[in-house]
A and B are shown apart, each in its own frame.
Chain A
Amino acid sequence: MASPNFEITQKEQVTIIKCLKEFGQSAADEIENLSAEWLKKPSKIYVFDFQEAGSVSNVTFKPMATLNRSLKKVESFLFSINVSKDIERQIKMAGLDDVFNVKTDLSAAMAGAGVKVAKPTLDANFINPFIQSTQKTIQTQANTQVNAGRLRLKQPGEVFETDIAGVISLTSNVFTGAIALCFPQETFLAMYSNMLGERHTVITPEIEDAAGELLNIIFGQAKAELNQNKGYVIERAIPTVVRGKNINIHHMSRSLSVVLPFETSAGKFHIEISADFV
């Protein structure tokens, strides 16, 4: 059943409890109920995210203290992140620093529990799942053979022939960034024809979401590999599609962007990945 107070996500060893509104009586009651459930099969870390909490009522202090005490007994941890100055002051005044255990972000919380977090770079360990999932997706879903080209850095100001692109924002415990799947019109139309048996001469709104869907599948496959086998905690995301003549994907990233070129029987396309690491 959906929680009225929290959005709860569980990944591997971490349960994130995002507070959706005031951390008050209703939240206090729910924590008591959730605590019993959690303690049946506890995660290693429980992180309360106060980004949207607005305020915290004193009635939540007792169930939080009880939860923290119970978690300690089973060698689990409770942390709080995105805590405003006002809430942090309130916690300190109540002498509950050790209960709420405020950290700057999820990464710091995980480090506080002694959990090793993969420190990503745009290296083969991070990039290869995207190459493999691109080949698998295009071959299986679009019935088109794919050869991966040589990975390289995107040069400042470099523009590729791109008429349509699917774009997904990457959000994880240790980095933010973006991935873009970029097609020239001819490649996109030929691939669409392979996928659905429909021939089009121009990209129309009726068919453009295929760029987003293909990227969605590529991202889903790569995310599963990175999260399950390489120690990342990349969050789910929904793609958007951009269209125009010779689109330039400009990454608002302080770090470098990489380009993965692909050749297919339908023509060339490429993927761009950028990431800022915490």
Chain B
Amino acid sequence: MAMTELKFLVVDDMMTMRKIVSQQLRAMGVVTIEEANDGTVAWNKMEEAAKLNKPFQFIVSDWNMPEMKGIDLLKKARAHPTYKTVAFLLVTAESEMDQVKEAVASGVDNYLVKPFTPQSFQEKLMAAYQRRFPGK
């Protein structure tokens, strides 16, 4: 399946950053995008979508959020039968090495440090996509 046909969930507590990410996804041709302002809200949406057999196929999540953090959302996803292989990109202002290591150990597909240009966003997104959908 082409990346533009996937169902995306954008998770960030900051509306501005959700807008930036969604805007850049639309510019790449992605059509189906939902947003959540926290990891907990995102997880509820993900479970609901899984129950309806219309799961999200690509999660783009911030790390640092007040309720459930992006890293915890990632860990929950990897432990869930529907989401254990979902494409997952962490977008974060945190660039310290121990955090990158934790994200990799938890099964993230790629890691994008803010601030980012549209080009670096697309590169990281594509790399995460190709990791989950090899040969596409």
Q: For the complex, is A2 an interface residue (Cβ under 8 Å from B)?
A: yes
Closest to A137 in B: B115
In the docked arrangement, what's the CA distance between A1 and B72, Å?
9
Closest to B65 in A: A238
28 pairs from A and B in contact (CB 8 Å cutoff): A11-B98, A136-B115, A137-B114, A137-B115, A140-B115, A140-B116, A195-B16, A196-B16, A196-B20, A196-B23, A197-B23, A209-B14, A209-B15, A210-B14, A213-B17, A216-B14, A216-B64, A216-B93, A216-B114, A219-B93, A220-B64, A220-B113, A221-B115, A227-B96, A236-B64, A238-B13, A238-B65, A238-B66
- Give the interface of A toward B (CB within 8 A): 1-2, 10-12, 136-137, 140-141, 192, 195-197, 206-207, 209-210, 212-213, 216-217, 219-221, 223-224, 227-228, 236, 238
Question: Contact at A141–B115, with CB atoms within 8 Å?
Answer: yes
Q: How far is the CB of B37 from chain A (nearest CB, A)?
A: 10
Knowing A10-B98, A11-B98, A209-B15 touch, does A221 contact B20 (C-beta < 8 A)? no
- Give the interface of B toward A (CB within 8 A): 13-17, 19-20, 23, 64-66, 72, 75, 92-98, 113-117
Question: Contact at B114–A141, with CB atoms within 8 Å?
Answer: yes
Taking chain A's interface residues, is the majority helix, strand, or loop, or is none over half, making it mixed? helix
Closest to B72 in A: A2
Q: How far is the CB of A192 from chain B (nearest CB, A)?
A: 8
Question: Contact at B64–A141, with CB atoms within 8 Å?
Answer: no
The winner among A137, A217, A227, A228 for most chain B CB atoms within 10 A is A217
The winner among B64, B66, B92, B117 for most chain A CB atoms within 10 A is B64
Q: How far is the CB of B76 from chain A (nearest CB, A)?
A: 10
Knowing A209-B14, A213-B17 touch, does A140 contact B93 (C-beta < 8 A)? no
- Sample of 4 further A-B pairs with CB below 8 A, known A136-B115, A216-B93: A12-B98, A213-B17, A221-B115, A236-B94
Closest to A236 in B: B64
- Provide the residues of chain B in CB contact with A2, threshold 8 Å: 72
- Provide the residues of chain B in CB contact with A137, threshold 8 Å: 114-115
- Provide the residues of chain B in CB contact with A212, threshold 8 Å: 14
Q: How far is the CB of B58 from chain A (nearest CB, A)?
A: 22
Question: Contact at B17–A224, with CB atoms within 8 Å?
Answer: no
Contact among A136, A192, A213, A220 with B94 in the assembled complex (CB-CB below 8 Å): A220
Cβ-closest 8 pairs across A and B? A220-B93, A141-B115, A140-B115, A210-B16, A213-B14, A217-B114, A224-B95, A217-B93
In the docked arrangement, what's the CA distance between A137 and B117, Å?
10
In the docked arrangement, what's the CA distance between A206 and B18, Å?
12
Q: How far is the CB of B18 from chain A (nearest CB, A)?
A: 10
- Provide the residues of chain B in CB contact with A223, threshold 8 Å: 96
Contact among A141, A192, A209 with B116 in the assembled complex (CB-CB below 8 Å): A141
In the docked arrangement, what's the CA distance between A173 and B96, Å?
17
Contact among B65, B66, B94 with A224 in the assembled complex (CB-CB below 8 Å): B94
- Provide the residues of chain A in CB contact with B117, threshold 8 Å: 140
Knowing A2-B72, A137-B115, A216-B64 touch, does A209 contact B16 (C-beta < 8 A)? yes
- Provide the residues of chain A in CB contact with B14, threshold 8 Å: 209-210, 212-213, 216
- Provide the residues of chain A in CB contact with B116, threshold 8 Å: 140-141
